[in-house]
Amino acid sequence: MRVLVLAGGSSPEREVSLDSGECVAAAIRSMSHEVDMLDPATTPILAINPGRWDIVFPVVHGTGGEDGLLQSELAAVGIPYVGSSRTASELTFDKIRTNQLAGENGFRVPDSVVVHSWPTLSEQQATVESLNAFEAGGVVTKPPRQGSSIGISIVRKLSELRFALDLAFRYENRCLVERYIAGREVTVPVIDGVAFPAIEICPSAEWYDYTAKYVDDRTRYVVSPPNMPDTLAQTAVDVCLLCGVEGIARVDFRVDTAGCCWLLEINTVPGMTSHSLVPKSAAATGLSLGELCEMAMLNQLSRTAL
């Protein structure tokens, strides 16, 4: 096949995306396919020649890559691509919308409130205090439309809230504030509706932040961890189905001490670097990254031919 790998973009996740792109391109070449790379930040998608490639493999993370914009442009050009539709990408990139839809359909999501940047600090604090979460472990503050743990903080005391909100507001004028769920951090890759082995994430620091994801070699990953809920894999598949997610995705959870699965987020363009989780999970099934990418491309081309 003639494959175009898209990587880079202009979001705060640009460097991770470039790394993912290099890994994916090398993996696809190892399967004897022809590969070109393109950075949407420098070459407009709407200007590409759709007849030059059989399929596009996007690994543009964050804003402009996972939020439906790129998917809309690829659909307009008329070239098949691996991954979710514009509608599914828009939905899952927004953690507020995803939580609302999942919660309405019976999935466990942490209790949350949305804090805006314009009220006074005392008003923001009052909104967060309505969760009654500080005596039970605190809250997690998140820009609702970012990835790679960018802008996220764990807040144990109300006095720490202002700094956490200021950090989140660097990226957006809204902040999703969730009740902190104590427990094990677990992710489940889902490739075209099939759950791959779960991975438990054991960072050396308090939580799985940007450094733990991409820099710290002390972070441990346990593939197919013991004592996971029997429903974990099916829950990941079901929430992807609910949201219309296709291609290669990753669903992140917290599993609490009672064995309950709490949905944290859905990643429709997950990382593909040497530290990334989807390649580790695929390897546990005997699939190389090249074989995984080839499978996803063939699945997409089969759907396109229908």
Which burial class, exposed, middle or buried, applies to 121 when counting CB atoms under 10 A from its CB (0-12, 13-18, 19+)? exposed
Neighbours of 8 (CB within 10 A): 24
3-class secondary structure, 81: strand
Q: Rounded to an integer, what distance in angstroms lies between the CA atom of residue 302 and that of residue 243?
A: 21
Which phi and psi angles does 265 have, rounded to 5°?
Answer: -170, 165
Q: Rounded to an integer, what distance in angstroms lies between the CA atom of residue 92 and that of residue 263?
A: 12
Catalytic residues: 13, 148, 214, 250, 252, 265, 267, 271
Do the beta carbons of residue 154 and residue 182 sit within 8 Å? no
Q: Rounded to an integer, what distance in angstroms lies between the CA atom of residue 63 and that of residue 143?
A: 12
3-class secondary structure, 294: helix
Q: How far apart are the first and last CA of the chain?
A: 19
Which burial class, exposed, middle or buried, applies to 215 when counting CB atoms under 10 A from its CB (0-12, 13-18, 19+)? exposed
